[in-house]
Amino acid sequence: MKNGQGVEAERIASTSGLSLEAALSSPVYSSIAKRTLDLGLASLAFVFLLPLLAFICLAIRLSGPGPVIFTQKRCGANGRFFNCYKFRTMRPDAAARLEALLSSDQAAAAEWALYQKLRSDPRITPIGRFLRRTSLDELPQLINILRGEMSIIGPRPITSGEIFRYGADFGYYTSVRPGVLGLWQVNGRNSLTYDQRVRMDVEYVRTWSMGKDLRILVKAVPAVMFGSDAY
């Protein structure tokens, strides 16, 4: 039989438990936890992969003219644009090559319209093709993560010219930091149409959890190692 103090202690403990559960599931806590994971993993990866980063820089420099790092404005959280970094995988005259191909090859133009990617892309250098297949071209985005512009997991960062493709769902995209990895990279990757990728980005934001991020991270390992649907 419980006395009044026992009942009161149980009530306080129960209330405290509910308060802690609410705090742990709050958007503020979730944001802090995600950012902490980003900083921890990105810092470790940057230090561990430093020799590989240096080797790739040298290989790109020796492969021909052009900068080692490709920089492009991408749309981030809250609609703010930032400089997104990648290892350069394309030739210096990439824009001219793409324009010439799309104007002369209807099949390539249709493929580009559907996927915004080309399986046989004349713009990509030989070393660039290897970097894309292994996703090593994305490694400079570790800097974007450390700067707070990107996350390890999230929708892929888009250019201003891609915003219209999100339509009324653009608000979902800008509500989180874009990521190096995302839901569609481990569920079809380049075999998906752009519309399918948008739907997966929206699904990711609407159903986000730390558990989902960890599952995507685990699934990304074989996808990257075996170059699944990458080109």
- Evaluate if pTM is beyond 0.85: no
What residue ranges do the domains of the chain occupy?
Answer: 28-89+124-225
What pLDDT, in 10s, does the model give residues 138-193?
A: 999 999 999 999 999 999 999 999 999 999 999 999 999 999 988 887 887 667 88
Contacts of 182 (CB under 8 A, 6+ apart): 153, 154, 155, 156, 200, 201, 204, 216
For a pLDDT cut of 70, what percent of the chain falls above it?
82
In order, the DSSP letters of 44-99 are HHHHHTHHHHHHHHHHHHHHSSS-SEEEEEEE-GGG-EEEEEEE--B-TTHHHHHH
Mean pLDDT of the chain, nearest integer: 82
